[in-house]
Amino acid sequence: MAANSQRPGSFYGGAAPYRSSDGLSTRPGAASEEIQLRIDPMDLDDELTGLHSQVRRLKNVAQEIGTEVKYQKDFLEQLQMTMIKAQAGVKNNLRRLNKSIIQSGSNHIVHVILFALVCFFIVYLWSKMSRK
């Protein structure tokens, strides 16, 4: 964002947060319900200039947010397409694996289970032998 070039030390870019220092003032009227206002046109110009710069900055921020939203939307759409393709690939591979298991028989699963049991037994015997 651009640096504040209005008044040094003013957080609001030259515009006071609620009212100008001497621009609006109240005078006690004849009755308690009456209020008289004295408006200094120079202060209003400063306030309007400050508000204009704030609106311009907010507009720039809104445009940047809009650009970021579009970028994030495109990114999520690409990610979604990638996930759909990955799911389709996994589904096809599982279908092929199931077909190959059915065609060759279920002996592969039995072999894997026997191998795991033999490995477990060897590790068990090795741990018993190393304790003695």
Mean pLDDT, to the nearest integer, of 112-129? Answer: 92
Tell me the range of 17-26, 31-40, 98-107 where mean pLDDT is highest. Answer: 98-107
Q: In sequence order, which residues have a C-beta less than 8 Å from that of residue 25 and are 6 or more positions away? A: 37, 38
**% residues pLDDT > 90 (the chain):** 44
Q: Is a pLDDT exceeding 60 seen at residue 126?
A: yes
Whether 10 has a pLDDT exceeding 50, the answer reads no
- pLDDT band per the 50, 70, 90 thresholds, residue 112: confident
* pTM for the structure as a whole: 0.42
Beta bridge partners of 36: 27
Contacts of 7 (CB under 8 A, 6+ apart): 14, 50
Beta pairing partners, 20:
none
Q: Please state, in angstroms and rounded to a whole number, the distance separating the CA atoms of residues 46 and 56.
A: 15
